[in-house]
Chains A and B, each alone.
Chain A
């Protein structure tokens, strides 16, 4: 760990004024600093700035950026109206980590690509221009969608996949004022700049996450992984499906573990709207959602795995038999 300055901010304005890397739960950043993958000169501790309430906002819910994962998952309103969010949070990490990790921090966790963590191997995300060791290396966990020549890392989280499917909004404050981003548009694909994980600008702070009015739909989070707990998703599927009699009124589906951001395609979802559920329909949807998917050898299996999991989740969400 390199020496750094430490400032404890008492409110959001002070945090923004302080300048430096924000640290909240620290469940990812501290590990990265010990390994010197991240070497910030200044840390601004935002654990004491407030922003830790969950409050109604219209028919929706406003979740402060400092709300701990465990508290958000356990909130009775979340469990009742946005159970997808609860389930996704509880599918991740361990109880100890969820007690510490925050809503804002969870959105900002970095990839688990093993080469990103290894200073002795090139990594464009860690050191732009150095190369990508994952290609030609161990890539079981890595991306099948939206990757680039520069980077095949995945975003590893669960909660943000649910937030994307729930059409949540990320609220941000910063040197140039407040703004919002849709959860589905918060993370970036690597392109030529894999070092940038998100569309957050330097100096900006996530202040809250807004959940829109509940859809009343059937909500499912299914996480497929190599170990039943404390493992990152190989593929996860977050779905919120509203039925209208025998047809699908609206379906929102996001994939995790397959790309550098939660993977959603509005044009694929449009295939589902107004249609009666059927295996053939779900197959067409999955094919559209996974169009252009490309494996790198060890992770080729993720493509059929994602397809099968999407179909099973939609089948279950529309009242069918998953088998």
Chain B
């Protein structure tokens, strides 16, 4: 095959897109419900996830956990463990990390096997010939401890918080607005510690070859994962390759490298043979990230007409010692609703619990539903329909910065969503009953910031007219393989069968990775730009301008001339490289995605059980690249919201903070019976400021608001307010009396 001839196209998103490229293309495969190209592999169990492929001579690792919340590990019964059957090494290495890296951290988290910050922290690694031998030996480990658990901080305190200046904001005089308000709400709410619970546990298989490290792992953002792993090991990033072709769910829990990557790399280096570590579910729960618990105070001051004069949203959350991440609970509050008097507060306590990190829609996932509970209380106080109250408070511009919205579709979502759901049939609080069941309806706005991240991709157009997309983007179950295939096929006028997409290899062009709902927009834009670079070259070969040429079904058409791509390529291989960078449109306008969510519940007056009857949502999130995978993202996001509202919470032991319910039997993600019929509608939408595809984030928006709609529906059913998530039956029983 000939050496590829390379063409590049780079775009910094400084100005809104004037023309909508995909309105001009002819193939007709974008925005179609394409099945996942890799779907058959996944449903037949033949897609190779991280721990599914072990090179010859692979040894197996298992971590030893710290059984204390705070203190030091000063030694281990290493000789005893070393003598157990099959044991190859007992490792306590200064390069072992204390907790996983945060998303986009790009450097190692704190390291060392001695100081303990939370119960369950990995403090040693046992490696053996077989998985069972490693586990058996690790279970026989007896760490020598200096136990300071009595000095550990295990729950949010009343005071003594860090209050980072950059995370506070105030304008006007909220106290005065509250005093003068015709209707006011001032309440404190709580959300629990939560966990991602991805189906695939974290796993890594590492091997060294001539000083170069390769890791098969389960990670979301390979570009920064390589940097994190290299930094942890003290080697050049050029010597690290990460492969993550399939990732069995991430939800933010695999944004950064975790214990298993560093541990497997260290062990493989020491033993001179491949080492595989698949974290036990218990390790995943207690030693990777969780979502912080939160306490939130909401103040709303409204006039007699329900228009807001003031909003206060203050949050108290926890963080790991020395870590800069803390759940950005108030992220959407500066711009969701109008009101000239505003307070944003963010307070951080350091706790000896499993490290908090990003979990699906960090910030809005727990901040938006809580604001929406307060709005529901305000609507009732003001005698307004909850939808009407929101409609009266949609700002014309970002009320905190004065910047225009790139697009604000909240009103459309509210109106059309309410119509679609049948909101007009909402009963008076506590008034509708069927046998022992009280029936209620609730709603919430959904909002999530929209962002773009640097991302690169290449498309190799082969002489036979087929194309291969290459980027280190990951598919964490979202549909990256499907949409990147569609984008390339649409832009190059190829049937999807003639496009293959290769992902999850850090040797490929560095992408945004999967996170923050920016993956599809960012990596997709880079694929589009790569295709446009190729289109320019094809147009040159056609002797016309690119916008005079139509590509369809593998043919280039200009005026009355039609040429098949192989003919046009004449044996050449073309490589298009695309790169997108965020630019001024990230600063000059407020970008967000919008939605309205509705829920109907039945609440048992006997047991306090809550049964969801239906959920419905209307979203506006730019161009929908694939309605099937987009809908799946929304269903998943809304199920996250069900768990948040009704079932999920980490039970921290009151004595040492350890994650007590650390398995899937006791950490209650919703099961099928908990999930009702979910109706999802996407509004036709474009956002020229977002990116050249005019597509926006989806998966996280869907979990922002759901819990608010559900808990507001419980309030409507029972006539009682619930200000602590999850609303379990004991809380309902206590309220019903």
Contacts and interface: CB of A to CB of B under 8 A. Distances in A.
Q: Do A and B come from one complex?
A: yes
B567 interface: no
Interface stretch (A135-143, A144-152, A207-215, A256-264): A135-143
Contact of A301 (B65, B647, B658, B734): B734
Contacts of A322: 435-436, 606
Interface residues of B, number: 38
Given A140-B651, A226-B728, A227-B647, A1 B673 contact: no
Nearest to A1: B132
Given A224-B729, A228-B674, A308-B606, A114 B661 contact: yes
B729 A228 contact: no
Chain A: interface size category: 35 or more
B672 interface: yes
Interface stretch (B23-31, B204-212, B451-459, B607-615): B607-615
A309 B606 contact: yes
Contacts of B65: 120
Interface stretch (B242-250, B476-484, B519-527, B663-671): B663-671
A36 B132 CA distance: 12
Given A34-B135, A230-B665, A224 B607 contact: yes
B135 to A, nearest CB: 7
Interface string A210-234: 0000000000000010111111101
Question: Interface residues of B: mostly helix, strand, loop or mixed?
Answer: loop
B660 interface: yes
Interface string B426-452: 000000010110000000000000000
A73 to B, nearest CB: 17
Contacts of A136: 654-655
A50 interface: no
Nearest to B730: A301
A274 interface: no
Given A229-B672, A312-B436, A322-B606, A305 B651 contact: no
B364 to A, nearest CB: 25
A172 B587 CA distance: 76
A117 B674 CA distance: 27
Given A1-B136, A36-B139, A119-B139, A227 B729 contact: no
B162 interface: no
Interface string B132-147: 1001100100000000
A304 interface: yes
Contacts of B132: 1
B41 interface: no
A323 B602 CA distance: 14
Contacts of A308: 606-607, 733
Nearest to A120: B67
B177 to A, nearest CB: 40
A76 to B, nearest CB: 25
A294 interface: no
Interface in A79-135: 112, 114-115, 117-120
Given A114-B660, A308-B607, A226 B139 contact: no
Interface of A: 1-3, 34, 36, 112, 114-115, 117-120, 136-138, 140-141, 224, 226-232, 234, 301, 304-305, 308-309, 312, 321-323
The 4 closest A-B pairs by CB, nearest first: A228-B673, A301-B730, A120-B67, A323-B436
Given A138-B660, A226-B647, A301-B730, 19 more contacts: A114-B651, A115-B660, A119-B139, A120-B658, A137-B653, A138-B654, A141-B666, A224-B609, A227-B671, A228-B671, A232-B665, A301-B734, A304-B733, A305-B607, A305-B730, A312-B436, A312-B606, A323-B435, A323-B606
15 contacts: A115-B660, A120-B658, A136-B655, A226-B668, A227-B668, A227-B674, A228-B671, A229-B672, A230-B671, A231-B671, A301-B733, A305-B608, A308-B607, A309-B607, A312-B606
